Amino acid sequence: MGDMGVMDEIAQALHNSMSPGDRLASWTLRWTVQDGQLTCAQCQASQSANRPWEAFTHRPGCCARRDAYPWQALAQLLGRLAPQPAAR
């Protein structure tokens, strides 16, 4: 099994966790965000932050193509994180 196969297994285990931190860690193993572009770690296809409602277009043969709306998934994950404690 290649390195990405192992990373995909780890990402899936974290994704299935009940912990919001684990689920976010899973997302970051599959995606990167830089300069307003979200990029698939598997196929390096990217999508602008201006188009979060559009399905993500992976390159042919990408094993991560099941992740169709990563911007929406990120927004949902960030909404689930515990709020920052109030400063004293």
Would you say residue 88 lies in a domain?
A: no
Would you say residue 61 lies in a domain?
A: yes
- Count structural domains, the chain: 1
- Per DSSP, the three-state class of 6 is helix
Q: Residue 48's pLDDT is what?
A: 94
Q: Residue 1's pLDDT is what?
A: 42
Would you say residue 40 lies in a domain?
A: yes
Q: Residue 4's pLDDT is what?
A: 56
Does the pTM surpass 0.75? The reply is no
Would you say residue 85 lies in a domain?
A: no
Q: Residue 83's pLDDT is what?
A: 61
Would you say residue 86 lies in a domain?
A: no
Range of the domain at 22: 3-80
Q: Per residue in 28-62, pLDDT tens? A: 888 999 999 999 999 999 999 999 889 999 999 98
What does the alpha-carbon distance between residue 53 and residue 58 come to, in Å, rounded to a whole number?
A: 15
Q: Which amino acid is at 46?
A: S
